[in-house]
Amino acid sequence: MAAKGDMVYAWSTNEDMLAKGECGGAVTALLKYALESKMVDGVLTVKKGVDLYDAQPVFITDPADIAKAAGSLHCGTLLLPKLIKKYFNGAKDMKIAITLKGCDAMAMYELAKRNQINLDNVLMIGLNCGGSVEPGMAREMIEKKYGVNPDDVHKEEIDKGQFIIEYEGGEKGIAMDELEEEGYGRRLNCQRCKLKIPRQTDLACGNWGVIGPKAGKATFVEVCSDKGAELLNKAEKAQAIATEPPIPKGLEIRGKIEKSMFRLADKARAHQFGALGDGEARLKFILDETSRCIKCYQCIENCPICYCEECSTKKSHLVAHGQVPPPFMFHLIRYSHIADSCINCGQCQELCAMDIPNSLFMHALQVEMEKMFGFTPGINMDLPVLALVEEKTERARLSSTGTDQIFNIFK
Ligand code: FAD
Ligand code: SF4
Ligand code: SF4
Ligand code: SF4
Ligand code: SF4
């Protein structure tokens, strides 16, 4: 019997899922079992749309449909949690299982601590994540760097540091490092991301650390909660999955890969944040870039931290109506409301109509604020620092001390 903290290799006992799954189909089998056994009412996950560059969110209630979503879509840059808030009443009146990359997992917690999602009703299946590739750029990269028509590609994967494609007549892999040096490869926010194994979910699943006869045919599952242990144990008892202990060397390799991904992310942060400049130079850069804004609201619409019914950016006394580009206050409001909790999911940049590097600006701020206040978003239910400021107490302190450094009270 597995318990919280245990790690196993797991795979589906069903031949079809074994074949269709990315690494043995354990995740698909677990989701199917969760639906069949009525642990959940539905599964929110991602399926291939018209082609592999078209990842679509899908809500499945019939267990027979789960296998259609098997496999990993590395051009699937969606963020699922806000859909639970928007379309499923925050899982307040139904039980939902969901697949979550690291950024999805962080978004779940930031929404949950703001009472926008009821985590008690969510079964979180985490997916380790080395990164995802923006779909439009993937097509361009495959055409220009691989010399292959992107429409001929029927499978892509990221393995051993390479982006590999299978297409009519062959297979080709190019090192991510090489691709990223030339401006291709993983999204910029993914290059900066340090949430590689989402341990704040119920089960963290991935291929890192699966070696020996099971390599490529099983998923490494880290049991992160009692709820995760219950699902794994029940699914195994019902013979939906089979498990075996991990090979110790595999464990060691998994740890080393995770550490090396952290080092890469630190390097990317230093490089990308460094390019923004400091102080006034950074402000000027942000002012220049945001001057392209057409106020399409996609950044707000897709940010998991933006959920307010009456957004301040729409109030004319704060942001004058009818101006494009909007006054800089539009962006300042977002920086001040979001920066401490930004989870670096990249949505506000990827979906920006004017390609403004919003996520880069916000993440750069978040990292600075984390250094100042020690608050890390997305990893647990802790509230951000500013949420802890009680106005009356703070006003009294200000008038008695005369200082406007409200943040000092937390030191
Ligand atoms: P399957 O049975 O194939 O089920 C996979 C489930 O994931 C399906 O339900 C599918 O709908 C869902 N899914 C597919 N794409 C997405 C997506 N983009 N977002 C959310 N859900 C999705 N593991 C590592 O160890 N190292 C990595 O670097 C790594 N990078 C990954 C990057 C991405 C973008 C994704 C999606 C996964 C990554 N994984 C990584 C996890 C790994 O690829 C497998 O998903 C995992 O091992 C489970 O395999 P399986 O056969 O049990 O899953
Ligand atoms: Fe994966 Fe992190 Fe990129 Fe999200 S931000 S897709 S978790 S690498
Ligand atoms: Fe994601 Fe951008 Fe919101 Fe940060 S500000 S959480 S990167 S959408
Ligand atoms: Fe709420 Fe501020 Fe985001 Fe508007 S910008 S939705 S007010 S957090
Ligand atoms: Fe402006 Fe881009 Fe946000 Fe649209 S998504 S409002 S263009 S910053």
pLDDT tens profile 186-199: 999 999 999 999 99
Which of 110, 306, 362 for a ligand 4 pocket mutation test, highest count of atoms within 8 Å of Cβ? 306
Check pocket membership of 343 for ligand 3, CB cut-off 6 A. yes
Q: How confident is the model at residue 403 (pLDDT cuts 50, 70, 90)?
A: low
Q: How confident is the model at residue 154 (pLDDT cuts 50, 70, 90)?
A: very high
For ligand 4, atom 1, the nearest C-alpha belongs to 308
Phi-psi sector, 36: left (phi>0), alpha (psi -120 to 50), beta? alpha
Check pocket membership of 352 for ligand 5, CB cut-off 6 A. yes
Q: If you search the block for the tokens 């942001």, which residue do you land on?
A: 319
Residue 318 has pLDDT above 90, yes or no: yes
pLDDT, average across residues 366-379: 95
pLDDT over 70 percentage in the chain: 95
Residue-wise pLDDT for 95-134, tens only, equals 999 999 999 999 999 999 999 999 999 999 999 999 999 9
Work out which ligand 1 atom sits closest to the CA atom of 131.
Answer: 32
For ligand 3, atom 5, the nearest C-alpha belongs to 342
pLDDT given for residue 51 in this prediction: 94
Residue 139 near residue 53, CB atoms below 8 Å = yes
For ligand 5, atom 7, the nearest C-alpha belongs to 293
Check pocket membership of 293 for ligand 1, CB cut-off 6 A. no
Residue 410 has pLDDT above 60, yes or no: no
Which of 78, 106, 305 for a ligand 3 pocket mutation test, highest count of atoms within 8 Å of Cβ? 305
Q: How confident is the model at residue 395 (pLDDT cuts 50, 70, 90)?
A: low
Ligand closest to the CA atom of residue 47: 1
Residue 406 has pLDDT above 70, yes or no: no
ω into 325 cis (within 30 of 0): yes
Q: How far apart are CA 221 and CA 206, in angstroms?
A: 7
Residue 385 has pLDDT above 90, yes or no: no
pLDDT given for residue 405 in this prediction: 43
Residue 177 has pLDDT above 70, yes or no: yes
Check pocket membership of 71 for ligand 3, CB cut-off 6 A. no
For ligand 5, atom 3, the nearest C-alpha belongs to 299
Expressed in angstroms and rounded, the spacing between residue 378 Cα and the centre of ligand 3 is 12
For ligand 2, atom 5, the nearest C-alpha belongs to 190
Per-residue tokens: 387 = 């949420």
pLDDT given for residue 185 in this prediction: 96
pLDDT given for residue 390 in this prediction: 65
For ligand 1, atom 31, the nearest C-alpha belongs to 129
Which of 85, 114, 303, 308 for a ligand 4 pocket mutation test, highest count of atoms within 8 Å of Cβ? 308
**Angle of CA points 173, 176, 178, to nearest 5°:** 95
pLDDT given for residue 411 in this prediction: 39
For the chain, report the end-to-end CA distance as a whole number of angstroms: 45
Residue-wise pLDDT for 282-312, tens only, equals 999 999 999 999 999 999 999 999 988 889 9
pLDDT given for residue 222 in this prediction: 98
Check pocket membership of 102 for ligand 2, CB cut-off 6 A. yes
Q: Mean pLDDT, the chain, as a whole number?
A: 94
- Count how many residues are written for the chain: 411
Residue 366 has pLDDT above 80, yes or no: yes
pLDDT, average across residues 83-94: 97
Q: Is 180 helix (H, G, I), strand (E, B) or coil?
A: helix
Work out which ligand 3 atom sits closest to the CA atom of 110.
Answer: 6
Alpha-carbon distances of 61 from 47, 83, 95, 97, rounded to whole Å: 14, 16, 11, 10
pLDDT, average across residues 157-171: 90
DSSP state, residue 161: T
Q: How far apart are CA 254 and CA 295, in angstroms?
A: 43
Pairing of strands 162-167, 170-175: antiparallel
pLDDT over 90 percentage in the chain: 90
Q: How far apart are CA 214 and CA 270, in angstroms?
A: 37
Q: How confident is the model at residue 408 (pLDDT cuts 50, 70, 90)?
A: very low
Residue 409 has pLDDT above 60, yes or no: no
Residue 221 has pLDDT above 60, yes or no: yes
Residue environment code for 246-272, b if the CB has 16+ CB neighbours within 10 A, otherwise e: bbeebbebbeebbeebeebbeebbeeb
pLDDT given for residue 7 in this prediction: 98
Beta strands across the sheet bearing 162-167: 153-159, 162-167, 170-175
